[in-house]
Amino acid sequence: MIGLLGRKKGMGAIYDVNGIQTPVTVIEAGPCPVVQTKPEDTKGRTSVQLGFESTGDKNMTKAKLGHLKKANQKPLRFLREFKDVDGNPDVGDILKVDVFNPGDLVDITGISKGRGFTGVIKRYGFNQPPMTHGTHESYRGGGSIGAASYPARVWPGLKMAGRMGGENVTVKNLTVIKIDLEKGLLVVKGAVPGAAGGLVVIRKND
């Protein structure tokens, strides 16, 4: 499985010869040096650890600095592991956006935008109660959350108001539209989780 780390730059649109619009997301992908290679696990899968985005020593722990120094790498802000990477790269190799080709399908993981504390209508898509016919006080509430004498409590996992967003979200099978090796840009069809500037993990869907 081929993978890269990157940052979401933003969304846009491209048009074909017939004027049909296609929404796209532009990602600054790589370069990602190989920091560590790992032997086969119990399932027979090898893995590599990739780094992304240079940073300063003051932003790193001593353990992480020592780990990177062993790989002869400068301080890197992000480290992620990828299973079964094609080509068996060695420590020190640099993976760039050209590991993908137009037409490839990729899975992209990012942290969704945090929406703060929200109600059940926004969080789970509940229907709004009637505005008349006896409704008063609660116009955006979730309604009854349980019976009276039995079970005499609220069942665990019940959909209720709470914090929304700020979670790892993966969107699968996004098509690579084009790559720009010179600028290190990857253009994929559709939307990608997270805000502009957020970290994303891109994996080729084999």
* Mean pLDDT of all residues in 76-105: 84
Is 124's pLDDT higher than 90? yes
Q: What is the pLDDT of residues 99-108, one digit of tens each?
A: 888 998 999 9
d(CA 18, CA 25): 21
Q: What is the pLDDT of residues 1-30, one digit of tens each?
A: 678 999 999 999 999 888 899 999 999 987
Structure tokens at 35: 């920091």
Is 147's pLDDT higher than 80? no
Half-sphere exposure in the Cβ direction for 67 (13 Å, CA):
16
Query: What's the alpha-carbon Rg for the chain, to the nearest Å?
Result: 23
Determine the pLDDT at residue 151. Answer: 81
d(CA 205, CA 2): 8
Q: What is the pLDDT of residues 174-198, one digit of tens each?
A: 999 999 888 989 999 999 999 999 9
pLDDT > 70: percent of the chain? 96
Return the HEC string of the chain: CCEEEEEEEEEEEEECCCCCEEEEEEEEECCEEEEEEECCCCCCCCEEEEEEEECCHHHCCHHHHHHHHHCCCCCEEEEEEEECCCCCCCCCCEECHHHCCCCCEEEEEEECCCCEEECHHHHHCCCCCCCCCCCCCCCCCCCCCCCCCCCCCCCCCCCCCEEECCCEEEEEEEEEEEEECCCCEEEEECCCCCCCCCEEEEEECC
Beta carbons within 8 Å of 12's beta carbon, 6+ residues apart: 23, 24, 25, 26
In CATH terms, 3-114+168-204 corresponds, of 2.40.30.10, 2.40.40.20, 2.60.120.260, 1.10.10.1590, to 2.40.30.10
Domain locations along the chain: 3-114+168-204, 115-164
Q: How confident is the model at residue 60 (pLDDT cuts 50, 70, 90)?
A: confident
Determine the pLDDT at residue 73. Answer: 85
Termini Cα distance of the chain: 7
Determine the pLDDT at residue 167. Answer: 93
Q: What is the mean pLDDT of the chain?
A: 88
Q: What is the pLDDT of residues 33-47, one digit of tens each?
A: 988 888 777 666 778
Q: Which residue has the higher pLDDT, 198 or 86?
A: 198
Determine the pLDDT at residue 30. Answer: 78
